[in-house]
Structure 1
Amino acid sequence: MGHDLQREHVVLPVPCISFPRSCLAGGELTGRLDKSQPVVCGHTAPVLDIDWCPHNDNVIASGSEDCTVMVWEIPDGGLTRSLTEPIVTLEGHTKRVGIVLWHPTAQNVLLSAGCDNVILIWDVGCGQSIISIDETHTDLIYSVAWNRNGSLLCTSCKDKKIRIMEPRAGTIIAETEKPHEGNRPVRAVFVSDDQILTTGFSRMSERQIALWDTKAFSSPLTLQELDTSSGVLIPFFDPDTNIVYVAGKGDSSIRYFEVTDESPYIHFLSQYSSKESQRGMGYMPKRGLEVNKCEIARFYKLHERKCEPIAMTVPRKSDLFQEDLYPDTLGPDAALTAEEWLSGKNAEPLLISLKDGYVPSKSRELKVTKNILNVRLPKRSQSSNGSGACEDFTLEQLLEDIKQLKATVAEQEKRIAQLEGNASN
């Protein structure tokens, strides 16, 4: 990836952001949205994080200050009316939920991290937490990232530690203290199973980027100082091109670097700059890009009152498919079920070719075990049960609720008979 990247962008001035799926896929629908544009509005407090499901383009998860995680299904073609009822509400955190993250290979597995210093992993299919990591982090969790096949977690924490964990066993594989000397938040992402990339600050508030070998965690492979600013740098890694994009809240630029196996490991490529600062940043999955335009990345930059799509393209004269830019990439199909992953099985992501462009398959239904009695399921801590644990527990709870309901009905029938007897007298 020694090519210079061209930057192109289209301004989308919308006071309330609500993208139709066609807009996300092709970017052809732009302009100001009507004030009556339907939105997703079921939380009772501000939404802090969202994440689109990698295995269902119609499903999105959200975490909020109301201490809940909600999972929503957006109909094909976008919203026609405001959505207030989620598919499922996940309750288990005691403080606001700042991070939600879908599992990369297991279907219906969702992670959430809250300001209660707890990480919960949910089986969305039955609306329960299947793993609770509640004694590992002693302070606020800054970031969480899965590795490529979802067998490991990498977390950064206010206690100044980076931890590599096996979430199902609850064990720490490796950890390092003070990856960056400064006191401001650190972010970390996997770039391979044995390497992570972190962003942080020096003691003099200089922003830094570093690459680490998790098998020799005592010192970084490389550490580079970028500039002096207060905005926390958020890394986005593309495993297909080995490019990491770095964007900071309050910045007006996106830097990108190539990660290689040889020193100095992190090579600066270029940066996109604009006049307006960003409040947040979204990253389009690879299968949503325009291959015929050599688009290798697309961001959605959130401003005060608009959202700006930013396309990163590589200049090529040929109209032929560029195989070096587009190796087989992550597809929409899950490699594992939630039960298989929970039982200890791992699988690499299922890949697809983008040679003929990505054509979405028919709408995928998210199946959730409905609680027909409208009684909230009890919360559970970390589970070591294998396949079928979620279904068995739900059935047991339903049978108990049915028993209680029958007793209530019998009591009401007895009461009605007494009232009828009194009326006839």
Structure 2
Amino acid sequence: MSRKVVRTSKFRHVFGQALKADQCYDDIRISQMTWDSNFCSVNPKFVAMIVDASGGGAFMVLPLSKTGRIDMSYPTVCGHTGPVLDIEFCPHNDNIIASGSEDCSVMIWEIPDSGLTTSLTDPVVKLDGHSKRVGILSWHPTAHNVLMSAGCDNVVILWNVARGEAVVRIDSVHTDMIYSACWNRDGSRILTSCKDKTMRVLDPRKGTVLIEKEKPHEGSRPIRAVFVADGKILSTGFSRMSERQVALWDPVSVNNLLDLDVEITLVRCLPHPHGQLTFTSPSQGDSSIRYFEVTDEAPYVHYLSMYSSKESQKGMGYMPKRGLEVNKCEIARFYKLHERKCEPIVMTVPRKSDLFQEDLYPDTVGPEPSAEADEWFQGKDAPPILISLKDGFATTTKAKEFKVHKSLLKTTTASAGSQQDNSGEVQSLRKEVKDLKAALEELTKRVSELESKN
């Protein structure tokens, strides 16, 4: 009598749980735009959500601790003249966020440590280069101040944010709308999927196609693709018979390693930072998150389980691993957008021990960049700088984050003069000079009084 061997996995019993109502963010007018993006970005300090706004586009940025009902008058970031389509926090500075809009522009914003007290209308840098709406943004994973944007003009632009300039413009590769664009682990490659039913791996600095695969999925509906463990490619799409598919690809030969026909309602994949886990985020109107484990041996992709809820989602944010609660064996945290609220969903591996679980938390990507923008554009590739989560994120990275924050402010304000009106900065300097003059007059008067007494 043969006995079935059960595959061992530390992620087998991962389970998802929504946080209680008082830990959600309520009464938020989430954007009703039908554009297909996450509509949410999150890091260890803030959660940002695209919201409805009259007369332009806006998004809200809340400190993670500001849960409960959000007042209708809470300040927003509202400098765009058209609806905001995508937002993403910088991985190297938790106070910096980029936004792309229907007004064809990309804007970079600085959020104060304590959150917004008044609405932001003036960006740190405004990046103009697209001729149609900008729907995809992605910061470089290891190079400081490098941002990728993709628009409905079928163009991918790589920006040096510190200088406010477009360094690489990839405008002759994609013949139709770009559905997805992402970096690999060290940012030496870009992976795109397009309405022309082609998946491409690009050299980002040269703008050339290294590998391409036509019709990775036969169906006519949108294809999404991401890099996962060991540089493999995971794509999602539909068969000719409109059956939903997940496929794993060899990035060198683009041979299909696996076709996994599963009943999923997804538009994108969210790879776990260490590659073992991949989560499928549902499209707008669906409600389930499914998760898979990617291994080195056939059949490569193993379906684990699913988190499901009654309410459909409008968008989804994904917390970087450095922002998770390691003492609770939390391996992922999603921020699910509903019509009027944002609901955190925690994915946990059940463990009885209170000790740090090293197998769940190998060293992970920290906020320190491996290269500056100029170095990267000149050809430098460097792996991400890893940090340990054993003693907690805050104690490990606070000094580094402040350093990165200061350097970004210095370079962006110096280079943004040609991009925006500097009247606010001039007024601030004039006020400082006026205050210094007043202080000097007061000191002079005081010295005179003391001299007269003597």
TM-score bracket, shorter-length normalisation: 0.7 to 0.9
Q: Deviations over 1:354-381 (max 9, x none)?
A: 001101515323233446895449xxxx
Aligned partners of 1:227, 1:8: CA distance in 2, in Å? 22
Aligned partners of 2:99, 2:316: CA distance in 1, in Å? 15
Aligned partners of 1:331, 1:317: CA distance in 2, in Å? 28
Alignment of 1:15 onto 2:28: yes
Counterpart of 1:221 in structure 2 is 257
Aligned partners of 1:36, 1:186: CA distance in 2, in Å? 39
Letter matched to residue 15 of structure 1: I
Q: Deviations over 1:201-243 (max 9, x none)?
A: 11121111010002222x4100111227xx5421000132510
Counterpart of 1:197 in structure 2 is 234
Aligned partners of 1:348, 1:174: CA distance in 2, in Å? 22
Letter matched to residue 3 of structure 1: R
Counterpart of 1:419 in structure 2 is none
1:383-394 equivalent positions in 2, closer than 5 A:
none
Counterpart of 1:401 in structure 2 is none
| C-alpha deviation, 1:276, in angstroms | 0.5
The number of equivalent residue pairs is: 374
Aligned partners of 2:171, 2:99: CA distance in 1, in Å? 21
Aligned partners of 1:140, 1:338: CA distance in 2, in Å? 27
Alignment of 1:236 onto 2:270: yes
Counterpart of 1:335 in structure 2 is 370
Q: Deviations over 1:160-216 (max 9, x none)?
A: 100011111222111110000100111110114541000001112111101000222
Letter matched to residue 236 of structure 1: L
Aligned partners of 1:348, 1:288: CA distance in 2, in Å? 20
Counterpart of 1:89 in structure 2 is 126
Aligned partners of 1:153, 1:23: CA distance in 2, in Å? 27
Counterpart of 1:113 in structure 2 is 150
Letter matched to residue 288 of structure 1: G
Kept after mapping to 1: 8 A contact 2:144/2:369: yes
Of 249, 252, 268, which aligns to 2:287? 252
Counterpart of 2:423 in structure 1 is none
Kept after mapping to 2: 8 A contact 1:211/1:221: yes
SS at match of 1:226: coil
What residue ranges of structure 2 are gaps of 5+ in the alignment? 1-9, 31-39, 48-61, 421-454
Percent of matched pairs sharing the same residue: 59
SS at match of 1:301: strand
Alignment of 1:77 onto 2:114: yes
Counterpart of 2:442 in structure 1 is none
Counterpart of 1:407 in structure 2 is none
Kept after mapping to 1: 8 A contact 2:229/2:294: no
Aligned partners of 1:72, 1:26: CA distance in 2, in Å? 15
Aligned partners of 1:67, 1:286: CA distance in 2, in Å? 32
TM-score, scaled relative to structure 1:
0.84
Greater Cα offset, 301-310 or 231-240: 231-240
| C-alpha deviation, 1:29, in angstroms | 3.9
Kept after mapping to 1: 8 A contact 2:247/2:259: yes
| C-alpha deviation, 1:28, in angstroms | 4.7
Kept after mapping to 1: 8 A contact 2:246/2:262: yes
TM-score, scaled relative to structure 2:
0.79
Aligned partners of 1:21, 1:151: CA distance in 2, in Å? 26
Counterpart of 2:361 in structure 1 is 326
1:52-63 equivalent positions in 2, closer than 5 A:
52-63=89-100
Instruction: Give the aligned CA root-mean-square deviation in angstroms.
Output: 2.1
| C-alpha deviation, 1:23, in angstroms | 6.0
What residue ranges of structure 1 are gaps of 5+ in the alignment? 378-425
Aligned partners of 1:273, 1:185: CA distance in 2, in Å? 23
Aligned partners of 2:121, 2:257: CA distance in 1, in Å? 48
Counterpart of 2:308 in structure 1 is 273
